[in-house]
A = this chain, B = another copy of it.
Amino acid sequence: MSPDTLYGAIEAGGTKFMCAVGAGPGRIVRETRIPTTQPDETLAQVVEFFRPFVSDRSIGSLGIACFGPVDLDPRSPTFGYITATPKPGWSNTEVAPRLRRELDIPVQFDTDVSAAALGEYSWGAGRGFDPVLYLTIGTGIGGGIIINGTSLKGLVHPEMGHICIPHDTSRDPFPGACPFHGDCLEGLAAGPAVQKRLGRAGKDLSDDDPYWPLEAHYIALAVENFILTFSPRKVILGGGIMQRQFLFDLIRPEVRQLLNGYVQSPVLLEHMEEIIVPPGLGTQSGILGAIALAKTAG
Taking Cβ atoms with an 8 Å cutoff, the residues of A that contact B are 69, 83-84, 131, 143, 145, 147-148, 152-160, 162-167, 180-181, 183, 221, 224-233, 258, 260-265, 267-268, 275
Distance (whole angstroms) from the CB of A156 to the closest CB of chain B: 5
Instruction: Give the interface SS of chain A, mostly helix, strand, loop or mixed.
Output: loop
14 chain-A/chain-B pairs, Cβ below 8 angstroms: A69-B264, A83-B264, A84-B264, A155-B232, A156-B268, A157-B231, A158-B228, A160-B230, A163-B225, A166-B167, A180-B260, A180-B261, A226-B229, A229-B230
20 extra A-B contacts, CB within 8 A, seeds A163-B228, A181-B258, A181-B260? A83-B264, A131-B152, A147-B147, A147-B148, A147-B152, A154-B232, A157-B231, A158-B230, A158-B231, A162-B262, A164-B221, A165-B165, A165-B166, A166-B166, A166-B183, A180-B261, A180-B262, A181-B262, A225-B225, A229-B230
Q: How far is the CA of A267 from the CA of B155 in the complex (A)?
A: 9
- Given A154-B131, A268-B155, is A163 in contact with B263 using a C-beta cutoff of 8 Å? no
Q: How far is the CA of A156 from the CA of B267 in the complex (A)?
A: 10
> Across chains A and B, which 10 residue pairs bring their CB atoms closest together, nearest first?
A154-B231, A180-B262, A163-B225, A160-B229, A180-B260, A158-B231, A156-B265, A155-B231, A155-B233, A159-B228
Q: How far is the CA of A268 from the CA of B159 in the complex (A)?
A: 14
Could you tell me if A164 and B230 are in contact, using CB atoms closer than 8 angstroms?
no
Distance (whole angstroms) from the CB of A173 to the closest CB of chain B: 14
Q: How far is the CA of A95 from the CA of B160 in the complex (A)?
A: 37
Q: What residue in chain B is nearest A183 (Cβ atoms)? A: B166
- Complex interface: chain B residues within 8 A of A260 (CB): 180-181
Q: How far is the CA of A258 from the CA of B83 in the complex (A)?
A: 21
Among A131, A158, A164, A232, max chain B CB count under 10 A is at A164
Could you tell me if A233 and B154 are in contact, using CB atoms closer than 8 angstroms?
yes
Q: What residue in chain B is nearest A148 (Cβ atoms)? A: B148
Q: How far is the CA of A293 from the CA of B260 in the complex (A)?
A: 32
- Given A260-B180, A275-B155, is A163 in contact with B268 using a C-beta cutoff of 8 Å? no
